[in-house]
Amino acid sequence: MTAAIRAANTDGRAALVIYLPAGYPDLETSRACLEAAAGAGADLLEVGFPYSDPLMDGPTIQAANQVALDAGCTPDDDFAVCARLTAAVDVPTLVMTYYNLAWHYPGPGQEGRATAGSSRADGLDDFAAACRAAGLAGAILPDLPAEEGARWRKAAAGGDLDTVFLAAPTSRDHRLQAVADASTGFVYATSTLGVTGERQSLSAMAGPLVTRLRDVTDRPVCVGIGVTTGAHAAEVAGFADGVIVGSAAVRAAGEGGPEAVAALVRELADGCRRSASVA
């Protein structure tokens, strides 16, 4: 993942990271939308695994998650989408989901789960192995604090996966250091407090947060939450290594499928190229 972001930076632009959930509006269309994003200029892809209590996600992604869950999509279905996706595109792809889903993978009663009295306390190794088998390059578990992430980091390392942790504008310096030290691939800088969602304008907190992170790490720093338009992408590209877009892409997938996603990604990719001051 780092190589893909740095290649974009060397090309004089910010890397574009597109998030879309598996199973929305259905499994086949979700894969087609992700492939369309890659074809239209996304440098990295984040595949959301729908979860019933998505603490970070705003109304657009929550509603998409619920559609997938109501249709009966399971993590194994999501991994199947990822396997077909990574076989078809040459773009580093991450899973983005919540720690509880990874901890309990593959679920009660399923083959591979620890039985009563087993020494296995969780499903993290199984989850990491499934990620690797599906061709994924890393994972984002947004509700897992960096300070509590040692167990997952060990499982991820065993599966040769990068781990991305989140930094908030309100994080104190010692916590930014912990996030930077624990992250591989890149550091996810949240542009504002609160949940994801489309916004009319970007928060002024993103730029200073990126500056503070650069003081503690040389890893790429990508900014997400609220980036909606090509103009927003150009603004973020002026101070960050990568631009992360989720809700706007999800809305496009629901309204117009792969064609609408491709059109949005082309606009965003153009925005990532507009700034001449990418670090």
Instruction: Give me the active site residues, please.
Output: 46, 57
Residue by residue, DSSP assigns the chain as -HHHHHHHHHTTS-EEEEEEETTSS-HHHHHHHHHHHHHHT-SEEEEE---SS-TT--HHHHHHHHHHHHTT--HHHHHHHHHHHHHH--S-EEEE--HHHHHTTT-TTSTTPPPTT-S---SHHHHHHHHHHTT--EEE-TTS-GGG-HHHHHHHHHTT-EEE-EE-TT--HHHHHHHHHH-SS-EEEESSSS-----SS--TTHHHHHHHHHTT--S-EEEESS--SHHHHHHHHTT-SEEEE-HHHHHHHHHHHHHHHHHHHHHHHHHHHH-S---
